[in-house]
Amino acid sequence: MLARLNLTPQKPLQRAYQRDPEAIERWQHDTYPSIARRAREQKADIFFWDESGFRADSVHGKTWAPRGETPVVERPGQRQSMSAASAVNSKGAFWFATYEGGLSGELFVALLKKLMFNRKRPVHLIVDGLPAHKKAVVKDYVASTNGKLTLHFLPGYAPDLNPDELVWSHVKRTGVARNPLRKGEKLGPKVHDQLAQVQQNPELVRSFFRHPSVAYISDL
């Protein structure tokens, strides 16, 4: 009966009940278009920023096997973890950095300084509401750039509005996830190399902005 109704078993998308649909609509139809207009007037670049964590013992995706015979993927028994931050631009630009541990306000500032190093054009950087992004030390640094860097905050509990989330989804379904570490290999260099490959592929970067969830981005 379900098949005749064109219904199939699917993994549901997860949405926080704290999401504010009105705030999301304002962001899509008012706030972001205003940011895009301002960036055009200033000849500035717009980047979307996000952080993610990686684990060497994490296995993503599925594979094929005879029915009733669960496949086995060998992975390192030693736990290794690595964090990374990236910023993605609809024109195909991609910046990234890897680091260990969690993100503090001070570390966020250090990463922002790397992002802004030798940049000639102003940057409008769109981030989520992570507490580290709103620390006083961050506000002080942004103010010290005299308008060269401006932060904008996405609505709460709406990661689907950020195309950088799609970068992490892609990276975690490929790379180390498909080719687990071998004896003696370290997670950090593997993650760095994979992100470097993304950086060298502007067409792949632009493809993340074609997803329906980020169709509101108007500076393509």
A 10 A CB-CB count for 104 gives 13
**Is there a contact between 176 and 131 (Cβ–Cβ < 8 Å)?**
no
Query: Over the stretch 37-52, which tens digit does the pLDDT of each residue have?
Result: 999 999 999 999 999 9
Longest dimension (CA), the chain: 64
Which residue matches tokens 């998308």? Answer: 13
pLDDT at 15: 52
Kindly report the number of other CB atoms within 10 A of residue 57's CB atom: 14
| Average pLDDT of the residues in 189-210 | 96
**Is residue 154 within 8 Å of residue 162, measured between CB atoms?**
yes
Closest Cα partner for 192 from 54, 49, 74, 91? Answer: 54
The set of residues, in sequence order, having a beta carbon less than 8 Å from that of 60 and lying 6+ positions away, is: 172, 173, 177, 178
CA dihedral 60, 202, 161, 37 (to 10 degrees): 170
**pLDDT tens-digit profile of 84-115?**
999 999 999 999 999 999 999 999 999 999 99
Domains annotated on the chain, with CATH: 45-56+80-214 (3.30.420.10)
pLDDT given at position 17: 47
Which three-class secondary structure state does DSSP give residue 33? helix
Measure Cα distances from 220 to 86, 206, 210, 214, 215 in Å.
Answer: 19, 9, 10, 11, 10
